[in-house]
């Protein structure tokens, strides 16, 4: 995933309404009306959130007769989680090396 794609994913995830929409879609496909039900906002406002999620390629709309239900596309979420995990490992390694360095410095001071 490119940096720009990753930025779109993290920007989409920054909003609690969009995260709630993704949580709902993790349980199964839903129409915009179904996604709008738990929110105190218009269907149009929810549609705007869905468009942000579509642009980040976290959601896709499918065709089912006359309706166009939304479906979660978790591939980008997996890629974002992988990016986070990689950077967590890098920082954990740095902290481990820092701990070792501090322990060596303390050993010199006491010796």
Note the pTM of the prediction, 2 decimals: 0.77
More confident position, 2 or 54: 54
Determine the Cα–Cα distance for residues 102 and 52; give it in Å rounded to an integer: 46
pLDDT at 4 over 70: yes
CATH architecture of 3-110: Orthogonal Bundle (1.10)
pLDDT at 25 over 90: yes
Q: Give the per-residue pLDDT at 75.
A: 92
* Mean pLDDT for all residues in the chain: 90
Read off the pLDDT of residues 41-79 as tens digits, 9 standing for 90 and up: 999 999 999 999 999 999 999 877 777 899 999 999 999
Determine the Cα–Cα distance for residues 4 and 87; give it in Å rounded to an integer: 17
Q: Give the per-residue pLDDT at 16.
A: 97
In the chain, where are the structural domains located?
A: 3-110
pLDDT at 111 over 70: no
CA distances from 39 to 20, 49, 56, 84 (A): 10, 12, 22, 29
* DSSP state at residue 59: E
Read off the pLDDT of residues 26-40 as tens digits, 9 standing for 90 and up: 999 999 999 999 999
Q: Name residue 29's beta-bridge partners.
A: none
């Amino acid at each position: 995933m490119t940096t720009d794609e990753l930025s779109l994913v993290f920007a989409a995830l920054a909003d609690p309404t969009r995260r709630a929409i993704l949580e709902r879609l993790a349980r199964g496909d839903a129409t915009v009306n179904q996604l709008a039900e738990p929110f105190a906002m218009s269907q149009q406002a929810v549609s705007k959130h869905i468009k942000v999620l579509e642009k980040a390629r976290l959601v896709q709309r499918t065709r089912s007769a006359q309706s166009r239900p939304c479906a979660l596309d978790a591939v980008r979420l997996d890629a974002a989680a992988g990016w986070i995990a990689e950077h967590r490992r890098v920082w954990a390694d740095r902290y481990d090396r820092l701990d070792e360095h501090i322990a060596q410095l303390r050993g010199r001071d006491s010796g």
